[in-house]
A and B are shown apart, each in its own frame.
Chain A
């Protein structure tokens, strides 16, 4: 390194490094924050050997220190530290005060969502999920055991359209069905019709209910196999509705054969 490089390199180091280096003496070491920097090491080596550059270095260091001192010569406003602390504590207080309710609100919302989700799931899963056997037993208990009970059921005026197909419309006696409760909870779940076929001498009841109400709804779209307990009955699904036909009198298989050409 020559003197020109050394003079240029003096500018490379911040004032504190030069200050930390202290005044140089011939052959003496310059310690400072730049020890790990190769440029600083080279400068040190040159300064140890060159008296002129040492003088320049000392002048440069003193000048830089003076300049740094002038730049730092700023009067601190009175009370600044107190104002800063007040501002920080104010923000901290706001954060602490506002934080807890936010947390409570957040957890409250989450808990409410969980409860709502579980409730809907439970309601959907448990509401009226009944088996076909349950439906048959409800028909027997509420209607078949006493003919008078059918007339006591509430009339559903808008249920006429629920009768499946022209075959059954000819057999159903009343225009209006009656409301039936099958899932054990208060409220009407199904619509029941009284029917009678003069040709086969079969009379009984036809129940229409939402297919979604059944635990395992039949997959057949027309009357399927006849079940004989507690009474002869058959069930099928068409669209969104499930149909359960219960014969109170007569041979149900004959009726089905007459209507559909097959007993099952």
Chain B
């Protein structure tokens, strides 16, 4: 006998709310918005639960809803800084703030492919399709964004150890290339 819709949704919440919240936090940059996005994600999932065909892919389905909810809010609300929210409970010490700061250094067109790649685990082709940009653009943006994050988050540790700390370089996208004929 199939589970009632309410029970199915409770299972979804129990299994995936942490992943959805983490993704929402990285998208929004602060805990309050992340919780709102998480809640809206599950409310939308509740309304559209019939569209979930494969329960094994529920995580990707929910993360996509979360991303769309974030993008929808961003288009209707004033843009907010991605720097970590000092009042929010989510950052855990300097390390967690560092991650958010490193992500905040990235412009949107670089940050979103990174999050799609690491959280939704989409391939380059899938990211290109989702963002409606050429796959070459995805590759170049993702490569530069990952390089920046590695510099900021991973190699810093070794730099700190050698007391050779270089200040973070603000990351800005290159000028847009002319449109193709």
Contacts and interface: CB of A to CB of B under 8 A. Distances in A.
A14 interface: yes
Interface string B55-66: 000000000000
B26 A71 contact: yes
Interface residues of B, number: 43
A77 B90 contact: yes
Given A80-B21, A87-B43, A71 B118 contact: yes
A12 B123 contact: yes
A140 interface: no
Helix, strand, loop or mixed for chain A's interface? Answer: helix
Interface string A1-29: 00000000001111111000000000000
B139 interface: yes
Contact of B21 (A17, A68, A71, A76): A76
Given A13-B123, A14-B121, A91-B43, A85 B139 contact: no
Interface centre among B91, B103, B117 (most CB of A within 10 A): B117
A66 interface: yes
A235 B150 CA distance: 104
Interface in B22-39: 22, 25-26, 31, 35, 38-39
Contacts of B14: 81
Chain A interface residue bracket vs B: 20 to 34
Contacts of B123: 12-14, 37
Interface stretch (B74-82, B92-100, B170-178): B92-100
A85 B92 CA distance: 25
Interface in A63-100: 63-64, 66-68, 70-78, 80-81, 83-85, 87-89, 91-92
A74 B90 contact: yes
A68 B103 CA distance: 13
Contacts of B153: 67, 70
Contacts of A17: 121
Interface of B: 6, 9-10, 13-14, 17-18, 21-22, 25-26, 31, 35, 38-39, 42-43, 46, 89-92, 95-96, 99, 103, 114-115, 117-119, 121-124, 139, 142-143, 146, 149-150, 153-154
Given A75-B91, A76-B18, 18 more contacts: A11-B142, A16-B121, A17-B121, A63-B154, A67-B153, A68-B118, A71-B26, A71-B118, A73-B96, A76-B21, A77-B35, A80-B17, A81-B17, A85-B10, A87-B39, A88-B9, A88-B42, A91-B43
